[in-house]
Structure 1
């Protein structure tokens, strides 16, 4: 059995699935912030939201690809699980960091928009 192929396949499937899930959560829940930031301009908010998701995918899938290689020897299932645990844990931390970075950006943009909102 080629443990490298199994490890790479599981790593890629789980990492990309997690990336897609986080991107969907950010896309769906970030929309309301962007609509508020852009003072109700829904087409602009939706467009920016899509661009943010594309950037999110590019950064995360690029990192996932760069982190794929494993240089040591995999000789048994235990090593496969340990390597997957380390690699997937790293990806989860990166996704979490990207999620919080997006939240910070949304809140900063929202606060700036609130300060510049015309008073009626």
Structure 2
């Protein structure tokens, strides 16, 4: 009798938690993505939507795979303990996926920022006039 109750409550809480996190990330992450894509709002919105779809697929797939249990659930205490372990795992996966998304986007933004400035390096006068003029001629070529 306790197994269906555990399954139902686990699915209900996991799906609600996933939807809440996805909506929060979608609305709050837009500003970060617009900045990461240097003001290109159409691209930021598109990537934001794709990230949300991937987030749903990955997390709801994990929730579904982690649903099964072989534990005998004899009382309410066993249900609560099993469910808390499963929900804790789901929350850890949500946090790790979120952290990895932020890490990838931050590196992408930093890499784009570095390539934008790579062509505008001014030669140093300390290298000497001949070296500075040679470097300037190479940049123009």
The normalised TM-score by structure 2 is 0.78
> 1:30–1:106: 8 Å Cα contact kept in structure 2?
no
Equivalents in 2 of 1:29, 1:115: separation in Å? 25
Give the aligned partner of residue 18 of structure 1: 17
Partner of 2:88: 89
Pairwise CA distance, 1:94: 0.8
Shift of 1:69: 0.3
Higher relative contact order (CA 8 A, sep 6+): 1
Give ranges in structure 1 of 5+ residues lacking alignment.
none
Q: Name 1:63's counterpart in structure 2.
A: 62
State the match for 1:108 in structure 2.
107
The structure that has the greater radius of gyration is 2
Give structure 1 regions of 4+ aligned residues with deviation exceeding 6 angstroms. Answer: none
C-alpha contact (below 8 Å) 2:36/2:106 kept by paired residues: no
The answer for unaligned runs of 5 or more in structure 2 is: 121-141
TM-aligned CA deviation for residue 4 of structure 1: 0.8
Cα RMSD, aligned residues only? 1.4
Contact 1:22 1:99 in 2 (8 A): no
Instruction: Report deviation, 1:116.
Output: 2.9
Deviations 1:46-88 (A, max 9, x none): 0111001100100000000000000121111110011111111
Residues paired across the two proteins, number? 118
Q: For 1:117, what is the secondary structure of its paired residue?
A: helix
